[in-house]
């Protein structure tokens, strides 16, 4: 018996199994990966908004005394922050305007890191990593973005772009 036939009788090797698992993991559709990214980021910012709204006076006080953002009055900064934190999670969950939303939240994360909580970079880098994936790859096939893209960006059989019927 040859070595090859002996290994065939023994079944797959550990290396074969590892390669099979890696192949399976690489075939996981991006849509499956994008959903938890969208929901995780949405949860972070939604929870922040609801905390601010639960005690608006305390939130205003934080912006006046602790956050002290440059260029924006504390009250204006609070309204901008809570507006972003209320709208962007909804858009992320729907997968609507995902790339612009990710860009806005990356900006907000940067402001938080630089001006508010510079020592919280381990958390902020996690947010940024998730947001960068969404910025670069979009919401995935299970999203309003994908439906809109299919509706308005179909390619005809002759290769020219035209809106779908």
pLDDT digits (tens, 9 = 90+) for 123-153: 999 999 999 999 999 999 999 999 999 999 8
Per DSSP, the three-state class of 155 is: strand
Q: Which of 40-44, 107-111, 128-132, 148-152 has the lowest mean pLDDT?
A: 148-152
**Residue 63 per-residue DSSP state:** I
Look at residue 2 and tell me if it is in a domain.
no
In this predicted structure, what is the pLDDT of residue 98? 98
Read off the pLDDT of each residue in 7-27 and give the average, rounded to a whole number.
89
Backbone angles phi, psi at 155, to 5 degrees: -105, 130
Read off the pLDDT of each residue in 72-94 and give the average, rounded to a whole number.
98
Q: What is the pTM of this model?
A: 0.84
Q: CA 33 to CA 21: how far, in whole Å?
A: 17
Q: CA 90 to CA 46: how far, in whole Å?
A: 8
Look at residue 150 and tell me if it is in a domain.
no
Task: Give the count of alpha carbons within 13 A of 49, CB side only.
Answer: 18
Look at residue 153 and tell me if it is in a domain.
no
Look at residue 63 and tell me if it is in a domain.
yes
Q: Residue 11 — very low, low, confident or very high, per pLDDT cuts 50/70/90?
A: confident
Domain range for 55: 31-137
- Both tokens assigned to 42: 């949405």
Look at residue 23 and tell me if it is in a domain.
no
Residue position matching structure tokens 């996690």: 126
* Number of independent structural domains in the chain: 1
In this predicted structure, what is the pLDDT of residue 10? 77
Q: Residue 163 — very low, low, confident or very high, per pLDDT cuts 50/70/90?
A: very low
In this predicted structure, what is the pLDDT of residue 153? 87
| Contacts of residue 59, Cβ cutoff 8 Å, sequence gap at least 6 | 51, 52, 53, 78, 82
DSSP-assigned beta bridge partners for residue 76: none
Q: CA 30 to CA 8: how far, in whole Å?
A: 34
Look at residue 67 and tell me if it is in a domain.
yes
Q: Which of 102, 98, 109 is nearest to 149 (CA)?
A: 98
Look at residue 18 and tell me if it is in a domain.
no
Look at residue 145 and tell me if it is in a domain.
no
DSSP-assigned beta bridge partners for residue 155: 161
Q: Which residues of 33-43 are buried (b: 16+ CB within 10 A; e: fewer)?
A: ebbebbeebbe
Q: CA 67 to CA 120: how far, in whole Å?
A: 14
Q: Residue 162 — very low, low, confident or very high, per pLDDT cuts 50/70/90?
A: very low
Q: Calculate what percentage of the chain has a pLDDT beyond 90.
A: 84
């Amino acid at each position: 018996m040859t070595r090859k036939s002996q290994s065939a009788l023994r079944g797959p090797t550990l290396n074969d199994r590892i390669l099979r698992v890696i192949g399976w993991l690489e075939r996981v559709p991006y849509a499956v990966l994008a959903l938890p990214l969208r929901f995780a980021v949405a949860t972070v910012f939604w929870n922040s908004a609801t905390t601010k709204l639960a005690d608006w006076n305390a939130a205003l006080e934080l912006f006046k005394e602790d956050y002290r953002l440059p260029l924006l009055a504390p009250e204006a900064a609070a309204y901008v922050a809570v507006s972003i934190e209320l709208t962007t999670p909804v858009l992320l969950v729907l997968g609507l305007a995902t790339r612009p939303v990710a860009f806005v939240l990356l900006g907000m994360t940067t402001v938080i890191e630089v001006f508010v909580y510079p020592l919280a970079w381990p958390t902020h880098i996690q947010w940024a990593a998730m947001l960068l994936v969404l910025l670069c790859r979009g919401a995935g096939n299970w999203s309003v973005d994908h439906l809109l893209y299919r509706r308005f960006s179909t390619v005809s059989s002759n290769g020219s772009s035209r809106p779908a019927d």
